[in-house]
Each structure stands twice: as C-alpha cells, then as structure tokens.
C-alpha cells in the first residue's frame, strides 16, 4: 500500500523537465502521475513511476538531485464531497497532509497523498472503507 514517489529538484530553467522525461523514456520507465511545484529559483517534480528504484538510480547517474518518498494513493468517487470526506477522516484522526495531487476520469478519482504518518493514514482510511491502492496497481498504470 505504500508507494514510492520520486522527488526531483530542478533548476527553474527551460528544458530541465524535458530532460527528466527523456531519460525515463529511454530507460523504459512510465510516469503514472506527476506534479510540479515551483519557486522563483527551483521546482520540485514529484512523480510516481513504473520502476522507482531504477528511476532513482538513472536520474542520480545523470546528476539530478533526487530522492524517494513514501506516499499513498486512494481511489474515490468522482463526485462532489468525496475528497472533502477523505480529508475530514484524516483530520479527525489528527493526521496532517503535507501535499496532495489528484486527477479524475469518468466516475473515479485518484489522489496521491503524503501524510506525516503514511501507515497510520493507510490504516485509518481503510477502516473508513476508502480504497487505498497497492503500489503494483499504480506502477502499472
């Protein structure tokens, strides 16, 4: 249930995101989800990929500052209030969310969450009948 996410620090200059995606493409690594947060000086690229350990190795070999982070991924209905309900469950259990990125398609939505305690987050969400996806489910998307 714990998913390994890559966090890549990128200089805020043209071509750096392209460089990362090309490196992963050449290695046969698929990107299942990504998010980019930026400041004026740098960006943080967060990605869930098909082979996180290989991606980490290859990006480090190409002189990127990269690390692996534990996250979880949920599948919820794509309807008003679903995400709010999930966040409320975590809030009531005093589990803070560091960040979240999500997308929806048709009647389902997937959300990647980083919480202060990943395993506790997984346990609490499952207790409340929230579908928490296995790493293999996400890596294979």
Using a pLDDT cut of 90, give the percent of the chain over it.
Answer: 84
Indicate which CATH number applies to the domain containing 76: 3.30.2130.10
Each residue of 58-117: pLDDT tens digit? 999 999 999 999 999 999 999 999 999 999 999 999 999 999 999 998 999 999 999 999
> Are residues 119 and 104 located together in one domain of the fold?
yes
In a domain, 80, yes or no: yes
> Are residues 9 and 64 located together in one domain of the fold?
yes
Q: How many domains does the chain have?
A: 2
Look at residue 139 in the predicted model and tell me its pLDDT: 81
pLDDT greater than 90 at residue 140: no
The domain boundary residue, chosen from 46, 69, 92: 69
> Are residues 104 and 60 located together in one domain of the fold?
no
Q: Which domain holds residue 76?
A: 71-133
Question: For 95-101, which contacts have Cβ atoms below 8 Å and span 24 or more sequence positions?
Answer: 95/120, 95/121, 95/124, 99/35, 99/37, 99/46, 101/33, 101/34, 101/35, 101/46
């Amino acid at each position: 249930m714990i998913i390994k996410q890559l966090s890549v620090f990128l200089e805020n200059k043209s071509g750096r995101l392209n460089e990362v995606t090309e490196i992963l493409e050449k290695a046969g690594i698929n990107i299942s989800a990504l998010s980019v947060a930026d400041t004026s000086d740098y960006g943080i690229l967060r990605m869930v990929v098909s082979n996180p350990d290989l991606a980490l190795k290859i990006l480090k070999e190409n002189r990127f500052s990269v690390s692996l982070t534990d996250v979880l991924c949920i599948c919820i209905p794509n309807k008003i209030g679903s995400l709010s309900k999930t966040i409320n469950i975590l809030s009531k259990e005093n589990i803070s969310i560091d960040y979240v990125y999500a997308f929806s398609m048709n009647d389902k939505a997937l959300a990647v969450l980083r919480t202060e305690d990943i395993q506790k987050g997984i346990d609490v969400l499952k207790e409340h009948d929230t579908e928490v996806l296995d790493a293999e489910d996400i890596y294979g998307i």
